[in-house]
Amino acid sequence: MRILFIGDIMGSPGRKAAAALLPRLRRELGPFDFVLANCENSAAGRGVTRKVAGELFALGIDGMTGGNHIWDKPEGAALLAEEPRIVRPANYPEECPGRGLMILEKNGLRLAVASLQGRVYMPPMDCPFKRADGLLEEAGETPLFIDFHAEATSEKKALAHYLDGRAAVVAGTHTHVQTADEQILPRGTAYITDAGMTGGHLSSIGMKLDTVIPKFLTGMPAKFEVSGDGPALNGIVVTLNDASGLAEEIVRVNISPEN
């Protein structure tokens, strides 16, 4: 089984980059059995809407994950309640709309996809480690792909090793900066600390530099704007062993129209 995971899609520039570069990825690295993406910033840089979700599904994305910004659009909660192909972090309280785990099925293959949110330098949340144990029980024999939306590299690595040999993939998101530590852990789990961002990379994590730098210089409130400069797509391609459901290969993806 081959899985493409696209790192945080950032606003309209991210959606345009995904639309432009996905066909090339399919030619050069495909075919893919499942295409996944993090969509929590896909609508104007914060949250997701029905229109934006429909646009991304139309590209052939099979399932999408979220994070702490998944609720930021007014229709976000209702969308999550009705759309089974988008998961919110599973360690939010059960009362929250949506689901933390989905099972994708295509061409006789099954893949469980879940989202978890970290607790270090993040809003208070249920324990992602204990919730991961529950997700594994829910997934059963189906390989489990986890998007761990977290700030601290230490927390991401700790969770990955905690799940090594049990989850198929633990892919970090949230920082929008792709890390160069893609690896297969000793017991067979594919891991990367952060899959990166899809959108304008001549920016500060997707926001225009001239709207961000003054905030650092003065500390005054500033309205950040999504950048379209330097478009690129970040992500990973993971190959799973059909018998074990664990990883055989992980390849980091960083492409732009220019490379």
CA atoms of 206 and 175, how far apart (whole Å): 10
For the chain, state the CA radius of gyration: 17
CA atoms of 146 and 172, how far apart (whole Å): 8
Reading phi first (left if > 0) and then psi (alpha if -120 to 50, else beta), residue 242 is in alpha
Other beta carbons within 10 Å of 151 = 17
CA atoms of 38 and 235, how far apart (whole Å): 10
Question: Looking at residue 34, what DSSP letter applies?
Answer: E
The encoded tokens of residue 113 equal: 């996809």
The encoded tokens of residue 59 equal: 């590209």
In DSSP notation, 189-256 reads -EEES---EEEE-SSBTTB-HHHHHHHHHH-------B--SSEEEEEEEEEE-TTT-SEEEEEEEEE-
Hey, which residues are catalytic here? 69
